[in-house]
C-alpha cells in the first residue's frame, strides 16, 4: 500500500509518525509520547535512552537487564536499591538469611520494629544501609573502611583483605607480599658487628 504523504511507522505503537512529532532512535521513528522505557515506562530523551536491538530502555533498566553482574558491578553502598528487576524478567538468587536466635536479650523498640542490623568489624557498632560499605565479605561504616596499618581511606579499587582485616594495596604488599630481589626487599642480610 502506498504511503500517501504520511510519515514512518512508530516503533512502539505502529501508527504513522509525522515529522513534527518524530523522535528518531536507532534508525527507528517514535512519537514523542511513545518514546519511553519499555521496562519502567519512564519518558526518555537523547541523554537517557539506551537501545538494544529493537528495544529502548532508560539507562538504569538497560544496565539491570544487559549490564555486567556480580561484585563490583552495581553493588555496594553507591547502589542501594530494593529493585529486584522482576519487571525485566530477571531472577536473582538471594543467599539464605542466617537463623535468628529465639531469645533476644532486651530488644529495643527500634530493633523490634526494624530488625537487627549488622555490626562493623572495626568499631563493633551497628551498620545501617545508608552508611554500609562491603569489604572482605563484611559490612563496614564508610568512616571505618580504612587501612589497618596506615589509616588511608579505602575504595573498591585499592582494598585488599587478610584474616578479616582491610589493607590498602601498598601496605598489603609491604607486609604480606613477596620479598627478595625485584620485590623491594633486601638482597642479602646485613650482620651487625659488635
For position 53, which CATH number holds? 2.10.110.10
Mean pLDDT of 150-155: 89
Mean pLDDT of 144-170: 88
Q: What secondary structure does DSSP assign to the chain, as a single string?
A: ----S--EEBTTT-SEE-GGGEEEETTEEEEGGG-B-TTT--B--TTTEEEETTEEEEHHHHHHHHS--STTSS-SGGG------GGGT---PPPPPPPPPS--SS--HHHHHH---EE-TTT--EE-GGGEEEETTEEEETTT-B-TTT--B--TTTEEEETTEEEEHHHHHHHHS--STTTTS-SSPPPPP-
Would 152 be classed as within a structural domain? yes
Would 74 be classed as within a structural domain? no
Would 99 be classed as within a structural domain? no
Give per-residue pLDDT as tens, 52-69.
877 888 888 888 887 776
Which tops the pLDDT comparison, 101 or 160?
160
pLDDT band, very low/low/confident/very high, at 4 (cuts 50, 70, 90): low
pLDDT at position 110 is 53
pLDDT at position 104 is 46
Would 52 be classed as within a structural domain? yes
What's the domain range around 153? 132-176
Which tops the pLDDT comparison, 190 or 180?
180
Would 115 be classed as within a structural domain? no
pLDDT at position 150 is 93
The fraction of the chain above a pLDDT of 70, given in percent, is 64
Mean pLDDT of 83-90: 59
Q: Of 66, 87, 120, which one is at a domain's C-terminal end? A: 66
Would 186 be classed as within a structural domain? no
Would 149 be classed as within a structural domain? yes
The fraction of the chain above a pLDDT of 90, given in percent, is 5
Mean pLDDT of 118-134: 88
Would 26 be classed as within a structural domain? yes
pLDDT at position 102 is 47
pLDDT at position 86 is 64
Q: Is the pLDDT of residue 83 over 70?
A: no
Q: Is the pLDDT of residue 109 over 70?
A: no
Give per-residue pLDDT as tens, 7-52.
788 888 889 888 888 888 878 888 888 888 888 888 888 888 888 8
Domain count, the chain: 2
Amino acid at each position: 500500500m502506498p504511503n500517501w504523504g504520511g510519515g514512518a511507522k512508530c516503533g512502539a505503537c505502529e501508527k504513522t509518525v509525522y515529522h513534527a512529532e518524530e523522535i528518531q532512535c536507532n534508525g527507528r521513528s517514535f512519537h514523542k509520547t511513545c518514546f519511553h522505557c519499555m521496562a519502567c515506562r519512564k519518558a526518555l530523551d537523547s541523554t537517557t535512552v539506551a537501545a538494544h536491538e529493537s528495544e529502548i530502555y532508560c539507562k538504569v533498566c538497560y544496565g539491570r537487564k544487559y549490564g555486567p553482574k556480580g561484585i563490583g558491578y552495581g553493588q555496594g553502598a553507591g547502589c542501594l536499591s530494593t529493585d529486584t528487576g522482576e519487571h525485566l524478567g530477571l531472577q536473582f538468587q538471594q543467599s539464605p538469611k542466617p537463623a535468628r536466635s529465639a531469645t533476644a536479650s532486651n530488644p529495643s523498640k527500634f530493633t523490634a520494629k526494624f530488625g537487627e542490623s549488622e555490626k562493623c568489624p572495626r568499631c563493633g557498632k551497628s551498620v545501617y544501609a545508608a552508611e554500609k560499605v562491603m569489604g572482605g565479605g563484611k559490612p563496614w561504616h564508610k568512616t571505618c573502611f580504612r587501612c589497618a596499618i596506615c589509616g588511608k581511606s579505602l575504595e573498591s579499587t585499592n582494598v585488599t583483605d587478610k584474616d578479616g582485616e582491610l589493607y590498602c594495596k601498598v601496605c598489603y604488599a609491604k607486609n604480606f607480599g613477596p620479598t627478595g630481589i625485584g620485590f623491594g626487599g633486601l638482597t642479602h642480610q646485613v650482620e651487625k658487628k659488635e
